[in-house]
Amino acid sequence: MEKRKQVLSAIQPTGQMHFGNYFGAVQNWVKLQENYDCIYGVVDYHAMTMPYQPKKLRENTWELLFNLMAVGVKPEYLFIQSLVPEHAELCWILNCFTSYGQLTRMTQFKDKSAQVQETATDSFISAGLLDYPVLQAADILIYRADYVPVGKDQEQHLELTRNIAQRFNNQVGKEYFVLPEPLYTEVPKVRSTAEPNRKMSKSAGDKHYIDVFAEDNRIRKQIRSAVTDTGETPEGEMSPGVANLFEMLKAAGQQDSYEQLMKDYEAGGLRYVDLKDAVADGLVALSQQFRENKKAILADKKEYKNKIKASSAEIRKKAQETVREVKELAGLSNVRF
């Protein structure tokens, strides 16, 4: 049997999961499990690069893990980054194969530095924020991932990872690291229902995101109040608000409703109330199942925590082997694990 390709993806521990997160990334994780060997990380080291509270970080990490399992991610594919310290060790080694100039040119560093200066009580910008892409490269390369699911906004980071890997390979005289390829899959870009010109985001405020585990009434209320037409859309184009509702309807698996309502739109007979009701029905159906799954997980919380600790330990074995081999190739002192 042909060996399945390795996929690596990761998510920062924000705790709550909204439909932007789910449709934009996690739903795809669940689908990829069927055809690839997957490793999915909750990357708490990365979360430290921005202002944070230690207690909240730990709580958010476990909350996100429970949420991921509730929506269908298999626990054996999940790990907590800080339970695999080899990520940080490999990051240091890869730092020595990364130029300072490359890091300062990263768009995310510029954007997040500006965000810290605008919102934090002080303007402290950590070295960790600058080094974030190298740790991200270590996350990918440590598992020799063939593919990384990415959107267009993440291409710069993956290209840096490939560049670092190639520089290491050239330095040690061996094609050791796999140069990971982007895995482009059809993932919707879900927008805020309150302001559809911006992406759905928890940081923008309550009205700008819809919690995957929200009660039915809450979901329906937010969809009913969704902005549809601001009057600024050029004639003949679908307004961002309407397009966003159609995007969510399709992502929720309501293909029949999507096709019928799209016909109504093209014929000029679409009633926004019908579209909103269909979207709300689709989201509520998903949320009800996810809430049931999460209820079962929380009823046996200790067991599921143990599963994640065990999967992290098992996944760590792969990381340990990579670091051992990298240290050997890099000329560092080494002890076989």
263 is annotated as an active-site residue: no
Amino acid sitting at position 237: E
Token pair listed for 211:
């919690």
Task: Label residue 231 exposed, middle or buried (CB < 10 Å: 0-12, 13-18, 19+).
Answer: exposed
| Catalytic residue selected from 199, 305, 318, 327 | 199
Cα(149)–Cα(10) distance, integer angstroms: 10
Q: What is the largest CA-CA distance in the chain?
A: 72
For residue 17, what are its two tokens? 């999961």
> CA dist 337 to 87, 104, 321, 322, Å?
15, 36, 8, 11
213 contacts 294 by C-beta, under 8 angstroms = yes
Active site residue 202: yes
**Three-state secondary structure string covering 89-125:** HHHHHHHCCCCHHHHHCCHHHHHHHHHHHHHCCCCCC
- In one-letter notation, the amino acid at residue 26 is V
CA atoms within 13 A of residue 292's CA, in its CB half-sphere? 6
**Catalytic annotation, pick one of 31, 74, 112, 305:** 112
* Contact status, residue 12 vs residue 43, Cβ threshold 8 Å: yes
In sequence order, which residues have a C-beta less than 8 Å from that of residue 131 and are 6 or more positions away? 91, 95, 103
Edge-to-edge strand list for the sheet holding 147-149:
78-80, 37-42, 6-11, 147-149, 181-183
CB atoms within 10 A of CB 288: 14
Active-site residue, from 202, 305, 318, 327:
202
Catalytic residue numbers, as ranges: 112, 199, 202
